Amino acid sequence: MKKTMTYSEGIKEGMSIRMREDPNVVLFGEDVGRFGGCFGVSAGMFEEFGPDRVRDTPISESAIIGCAVGASSTGLRPIAEIMMMDFLTVAMDQMCNNAAKLRFMTGGKLHFPMVIRTAGGAGVNAAAQHSQSLEAWVTHVPGLKMVFPSNAQDALGLMLSSIDDENPVVYEEHKAMLAMESEVDMDMGPIPLGKGNIVRPGKDVTIVAVGKMVHEALAAAAELEKEGIEAEIIDPRTLYPFDMDMVANSIDKTHKAIVVSEEVRRGGYMGEISAQIAENFFDALDAPVKRIGALNTPVPFSPALESQYLPNAADIVKAVKAQG
């Protein structure tokens, strides 16, 4: 069965499916209960699952993640919401030194099946402390997995797999995509972590794009097509584990690669992907890998400045043409 669903509804549907199936799946965070979440993602879940399984927490990100670590170690499968990705900074000890390491440090005797939901990304004029894309921070830590859906289908399927995983998974939701609608195949089921998606096939250049940048890449590809350039767009969907095989197969065909992320370009995770491509597939490349990211500045509040800060389709088109 197929239905049209928003990105936000895809997230909620994934959570609700697993909560109906498994009483050990619980959701907690700031305002996720009666209020339905800061962005309305969990609206109605308090009424369906009750206060024991959908719980509001104090305004303490370290307590939220600490609670998830403890709960997951004792048999629950918590979904902990950190309202804004920027606020992961307050919970880095619990996330990076506890959640990420304790399965390793117990020799696998304890499992920590927990999902950390958090809203990242700019484009909604939320200013410097509520708009960051901190994927590089998360992916740098061994023991953490990370997913970043770009549409409602992936939001649903990746949520199912994230809840099922026996390790901590950071699940990033882009604020500017929450109301974006797309068709969802309700029978598809979980999307495996580490399996990317070829969003648009092409033969002339490989564009690896993450999150909302997938849609900027699609817009760029439409412009490039007018000039006879066929861009292949790959959405990794999972940042770690990362589907490098799919990228390699594409580069073998196109011989050019561009990586695009909304992160600040300096130190961004796409720099790591760019390095892996250059190290492992150098002989297949006809031009240097191009990186596209946000400017090296805090996110501006001004709409005019924020639009200049963010990468867009025009930047991608320019990068493709610069490769020759």
75: Cβ contacts below 8 Å, ≥ 6 apart: 24
Is 260 in contact with 210 (CB distance < 8 Å)? yes
Is 261 in contact with 268 (CB distance < 8 Å)? yes
Nearest to 252 by CA among 209, 283, 289, 284: 284
Query: Among 130, 174, 215, 255, which one carries the catalytic annotation?
Result: 130
Q: Is 140 a catalytic residue?
A: no
Rg of the Cα trace of the chain? 19
Where do the DSSP E strands lie in 98-204? 115-120, 145-147, 169-174, 181-185, 197-200
| Whole-angstrom distance, CA of residue 96 vs CA of residue 208 | 27
Buried b / exposed e along 136-154 (16+ C-beta atoms within 10 A): bbbbebebbbbbbbbbbbb
Is 193 in contact with 244 (CB distance < 8 Å)? no
SS3 279: helix
Cα dist from 18 to 15, 49, 51, 189, 207, whole Å: 6, 12, 17, 11, 34
Active site residues: 130
